[in-house]
Amino acid sequence: MRLGVLGALAGGTVVIPAVSQGAFAGADSSTYDALADSTLPSTVSALTAASLSALPPASLAATDDAVLDRGVESASRDEQRSILAGCDGSTRAAGQNGLLKTADLCTLWDGHTQLRADAAVSLAEFNQAFTARFGVDLCLSSGYRTLAQQRAVKAQKGGLAAAPGKSNHGWGLAVDLCQDQTSGAKWTWLNENGPTYGWQNPAWAQPGGSGPHERWHWEYVKGVKADGEYYDG
């Protein structure tokens, strides 16, 4: 394109002096040269007179910005979306052991086990990592228990169950795992990775602990320390 502009300008500089010379046939040659030089643009000034921009038209730029904004908003929504639909893990429900409101509980991936919201979201993240490793979800046999349910468990298991009103199941902060996950590679992985997500088999439930040996019993440590029944040992 620049070569075309130069060619057009070059042609103009040849034609215009010839015409001008006829118009000033009787004029002194020095007068003609001064007039021609003062009225014709130089090649450099002609090329630099218009400012070229590498930026796209404003309409296109606005469109690009709108697309970018939509992408940022979408990513933000994805980050804010809970791993459990409708479960806000930032909330910490009040209430009494075994008497938590249904609205303050979240249902886990199995469709029936429930926990307090913050514990539920944390366990769901733990389960996501477990699934990526083993190709199946964590299997749960128990979660939140009402007072009535804890009474029934106590009547059935005796000393292996906490007294009603003293179980972390009643706070929605504990789960029992299925037996097939309390040994082998899964058990090893759970113990190595559980603390990262805030979950562990408490010290009292381990061999030599102050309570019955229960590998299947896991608790959301942060919640238990703040609101539950915490036994250090």
Both structure tokens of 212: 């019955």
Whether residue 50 has pLDDT greater than 80 = no
Segment 198-208, tens digit of pLDDT: 999 999 999 99
Residue 94: strand, helix, or coil = coil
| Contact in structure between 165 and 172 (CB atoms under 8 Å) | no
pLDDT, mean over the chain? 76
Asked which of 6-10, 44-48, 181-185 is least confident by mean pLDDT, the reply is: 6-10
Q: Domain map of the chain by residue range?
A: 2-48, 102-227
The identity of residue 18, as a single letter, is A
* CATH level 3 topology of 102-227: Muramoyl-pentapeptide Carboxypeptidase; domain 2 (3.30.1380)
Whether residue 8 has pLDDT greater than 60 = no
Segment 78-101, tens digit of pLDDT: 444 468 988 998 878 778 999 999
Residue 231 — very low, low, confident or very high, per pLDDT cuts 50/70/90?
confident
